[in-house]
Structure 1
Amino acid sequence: MGRDLLHLADALAWDEFHLVGHSMGGQAAQWVSGQPEARDRLRSLALLCAVPSRAFPLDADGSRLFEAAADDLDARATVISAVTGGRLGTGFVRYVNELSRKTADPAAMRAYLRTWTQDDVSDQVEGYRRPVLVLTGQHDPVLTAAVAEEQIAPQYPDVRSLVLDGAAHLPPMETPARTVTLIAEHFLGQAEKPSS
């Protein structure tokens, strides 16, 4: 995923860019921030309910559920409900489940599951000195503010951590206006500063 991000930036001839990584995409974004070919181009980084760079292993029951969710929509609905704390009702779960059915490839889901639960890339996340915003959802039952503070924030010298009130693991869908505002302010604040 991280290599694809870099290839896309190259294909678009982006000399500089900002990057948001959500959930397992947050693990990939952390990897990107440590790559020498990206470090000077990446103006700022926002990590949203991010998986730590050293991976986030699941217990046996969690592993079985997430593995089943790649192919079984009922299991996927259970995951969606669980990561949002069961707070948003069946209509929300059905909507997100249908969206994922239309857009997520089961083989890719299985590969990403292996990556975010098993692949430790923390030794490749170093040297990034520009600003990092770490956002966690108030109701995220797994990737909590404590996880972010212990496993993500220490990797970066210029980091700001915030908790999104009213959100769990899917803030862009749960609290979209607040989520976008915080990320935009972070990026725009960096855009006004000269490149280092």
Structure 2
Amino acid sequence: MDWTNGFIEIDGASLEYACFGAAPGDAPTLVMLHEGLGSVAQWRDLPQQLADRTGFGVLAYSRAGYGQSSAAALPRPLDYQTREAVDVLGPLLDAAGVQDCVLLGHSDGATIAAIYAGSVSDMRVRGLILIAPHFFTEAGGLAAIAATKTAYETGDLKQKLAKYHARPDNAYYGWHDIWTHPDYAAWNVADCIDHWRIPVLAVQGTDDPYGTMAQIDEIDGRIYSPLETLVLDGVGHAPHREATEQTVAAITEFCARLKRMEEAEVELA
């Protein structure tokens, strides 16, 4: 896998990826996992900003069904986020030659990162950055997702998504239909928090229509490792776009602290 951009075959899917900054072996890697309707392109210039500010390399990829990646099989299974964590993320890190990394996820991507850190023994993962994570469903969030169907089928949401996704129907219905499935209301993966043993930065907007501070409170009540939180008043579901400087500054400082911790451990050894 070239440390530039292109496609890679993982778990039977062709996944688009893009890399920024230092290659693995030269610096730690920030691995970016996008939201439920996201893709590589929808991170905009954030990967480059983070590479410049942190000195880390950055790897972003589009999951199957998103961006320019191959289609996902629909309907998605109820445990699709766990399957993504267990079946795809580890092999992707292997293929990229990642040696030390921080997983940075937004929304669904944050949940996938959280599940990976709590269920896979991978010493390469040194920290988690979770932006608007989901560990369980909330009635308000489910209602907000259900309400997007009108915007997609009669409004301009499909046109907007088509700018970024080769198969907008595959992306949208793969996300919408599983979250609005009657059985999905009972979905809960919060037990992954119990198994984290690495530092965590959690970022949440107070006006997020898809999730409340209950998600962050769940982390705080269960975590055994260091936790930092950035709570942004008046900010919605995308703090990295709505409060970019505050979010990037918090990520940069978190990564700097991790690096200092790693260097101190080396010196003590």
CA distance in 2, matches of 1:35, 1:8: 16
Point out 4+ residue stretches in structure 1 off by more than 6 angstroms. none
Q: Which residue of 2 aligns with 1:101?
A: 162
**Cα RMSD (Å):** 3.0
Same amino acid, percent of matched pairs? 24
Relative contact order: is structure 1 or structure 2 higher (C-alpha 8 Å, sep ≥ 6)? 1
Structure 2 gaps, min length 5: 1-83
Residue number among 63, 74, 83 corresponding to 2:155 in the alignment: 74
Secondary structure of 2:254's partner? helix
Which has the larger share of strand? Answer: 2
1:62/1:42 Cα in 2 relative to 1: closer, same or farther (>3 Å)? same
Structure 1 gaps, min length 5: 78-96
Q: Which residue of 1 aligns with 2:121?
A: 37
Q: Which residue of 2 aligns with 1:48?
A: 131
CA distance in 1, matches of 2:250, 2:174: 31
Aligned residues: 172
TM-score for both structures, normalised by structure 1 = 0.71
CA distance in 1, matches of 2:208, 2:140: 15
Deviation at 1:51, TM superposition (A): 1.4
Q: Which residue of 1 aligns with 2:20?
A: none
TM-score for both structures, normalised by structure 2 = 0.54
Q: Which residue of 2 aligns with 1:89?
A: none
Secondary structure of 1:193's partner? helix
Larger gyration radius, structure 1 or structure 2: 2
1:8/1:68 Cα in 2 relative to 1: closer, same or farther (>3 Å)? farther
Deviation at 1:47, TM superposition (A): 0.8
Secondary structure of 2:231's partner? strand
CA distance in 2, matches of 1:141, 1:45: 23
CA distance in 2, matches of 1:192, 1:116: 43
- Asked whether the 8 Å contact 2:202–2:216 carries over to 1, the reply is yes
Q: Which residue of 1 aligns with 2:36?
A: none
Q: Which residue of 2 aligns with 1:17?
A: 101
Q: Which residue of 1 aligns with 2:76?
A: none
Q: Does 1:64 align with 2:127?
A: no
CA distance in 2, matches of 1:7, 1:168: 32
Deviation at 1:63, TM superposition (A): 5.0
Which has the larger share of helix? Answer: 1
